[in-house]
Amino acid sequence: MDVLKQFGETIRKIRLERGLSQEQLALLAGVHRTYVGAVERGERNITLKNIEKLAKTLNVPIGEIFRNI
């Protein structure tokens, strides 16, 4: 599986575990709501800064997002 899709699936899994919608995650992380959807579908090559924003918002270490990739 493509690394972007694996990353996106991990973000989606953690987001759902936290009970957040894509819109809520986007608002809390300071990114656009459509961006979160594109990341979760593996359509965006996300930057390290945005990875950090999502990880902090989801309250997980950055390394945890990459553990299964």
- Over residues 20-68, the pLDDT tens digits come to 999 999 999 999 999 999 999 999 999 999 999 999 999 999 999 998 8
Instruction: Please give the CATH number for the structural domain made up of 3-66.
Output: 1.10.260.40
On the question of pLDDT at 1 being above 80, the answer is no
Q: Which residues fall within 8 angstroms of residue 3, CB to CB, at 6 or more apart?
A: 69
d(CA 14, CA 8): 10
pLDDT at 69: 85
pLDDT at 32: 96
pLDDT at 58: 97
Find out whether 34 and 43 touch, Cβ atoms under 8 Å. no
pLDDT at 68: 83
d(CA 63, CA 32): 23
The residues spanned by each domain of the chain are 3-66
Read off the pTM: 0.93
